[in-house]
Structure 1
């Protein structure tokens, strides 16, 4: 499961579809509707938000908006709390770690996107996240 801090505009098709699926799974976990993934580290910042379902709704809304820009049909009715205006504070270190992680994936599965993105030093973040200076989060599983 990867709930990207990186803006969804950078995700290739496979990554965008996975973000949608995994975001919907995260929503089910937060609702208590699944036994698996309940302690997944990617859920930490959503579980600890004062309004976890609204936070995952904001995450999913932006994924769905990106899908619409690409003429994909994601079922937005699956988002329980679409378009909430809230934020999660995230660190620059986390964003940069995820960016390098994404670039490695793109180098293998989307070489054209990798070539386009490899010179970007600081990508945009998902609109849900407000950046502060800091290191990679302690919950991140660093490879």
Structure 2
């Protein structure tokens, strides 16, 4: 499971579809609808949020909007809540790690998407998150 902190605009088609499916799975886990993945480290930051289901809903809404911008049809009725404006902190070290990880994936999978990644300047991040200074997050499996 990979729930990216960088904005979904950087993902290729395969990555965006995978993100949608994995974030929907995260929603199921957080709502207690499945027993698998309950201890997945990617969910720690959502569990720390005062309203975890609203946080994952806000995340999903942005992924769905990105899909819509690309002409894809992701079913927004699968999102259980409206979302939240309360943002989750993410470290600049985590963002750098994710960008490097994504770059490696796109080098193999989609060179055109790789060319769209920012080079030298900070990337846009998912609007649920706010960047703070720090190393790679402790929940990240490096």
Q: TM-score, normalised by structure 1?
A: 0.95
CA distance in 2, matches of 1:105, 1:6: 14
CA distance in 2, matches of 1:123, 1:103: 12
CA distance in 1, matches of 2:107, 2:31: 36
Q: Does the alignment pair 1:84 with 2:84?
A: yes
Please, which moves more after superposition, 105-114 or 53-62?
A: 105-114
Whether contact under 8 Å (1:58, 1:86) holds in the other structure is no
| 2:71 paired residue number | 71
SS at match of 1:124: coil
Number of residue equivalences: 142
Whether contact under 8 Å (1:28, 1:34) holds in the other structure is yes
Residue ranges of structure 2 left out of the alignment (5+ in a row): none
**Which whole-Å deviations, capped at 9, do the CAs of 1:67-112 have from their partners, x for residues lacking one?**
0000100000110113432210111111110010000000000012
Any residues of structure 2 matched to 1:116-135 within 5 Å, and which?
116-117=116-117, 119-135=119-135
**Which whole-Å deviations, capped at 9, do the CAs of 1:103-124 have from their partners, x for residues lacking one?**
0000000012213326244211
Please, which moves more after superposition, 11-20 or 75-84?
A: 75-84
SS at match of 2:116: helix
Provide the alpha-carbon RMSD of the alignment.
1.1
Any residues of structure 2 matched to 1:37-116 within 5 Å, and which?
37-116=37-116
CA distance in 1, matches of 2:59, 2:3: 8
Whether contact under 8 Å (2:93, 2:137) holds in the other structure is yes
